Amino acid sequence: MHYLLIYDLSADYLEKRGDYRIDHLSLAWEAHDRGELILGGALQEPADKAYLLFKGDSPKAAEDFAKSDPYVKNGLIKKWEVRPWMTVVGDQSASPVKP
């Protein structure tokens, strides 16, 4: 199953992220190396949201990531949520459906 970790970024996210970016990216790459995090990144123009795609049997990996993320701990994220995402198209889809 896939899970989206959705971040609502603070208005000053771009100005403040430099202080925490190395630790945030290290956490992300560690999750990727464990096979939990598939993709992650922030939207541009405007930079107001970020999405991180996790895979697993439950949302726990995504929730644990958010709870330990320095961006969350230091107020760069106004709000976060984890949503199950039923992926149906693509080589890595969780539930492929072909016509």
pLDDT of residue 54: 98
Output b/e per residue, 50-68; b: 16+ Cβ within 10 A: bebbbbeeebebbbebbee
pTM, two decimal places: 0.94
Average pLDDT over residues 12-31: 97
Residue range 16-24: mean pLDDT, rounded: 97
Domains in the chain: ranges and CATH: 2-85 (3.30.70.1060)
Helices 60-68 and 21-33, axial angle in degrees (round to 10): 160
Scanning the structure block, which residue is given the tokens 């949520």?
Answer: 81
Q: What is the pLDDT of residues 39-96, one digit of tens each?
A: 999 999 999 999 999 999 999 999 999 999 999 999 999 999 999 999 999 999 999 9
pLDDT at residue number 35? 97
Q: Are strands 49-55 and 37-42 parallel, antiparallel or unpaired?
A: antiparallel
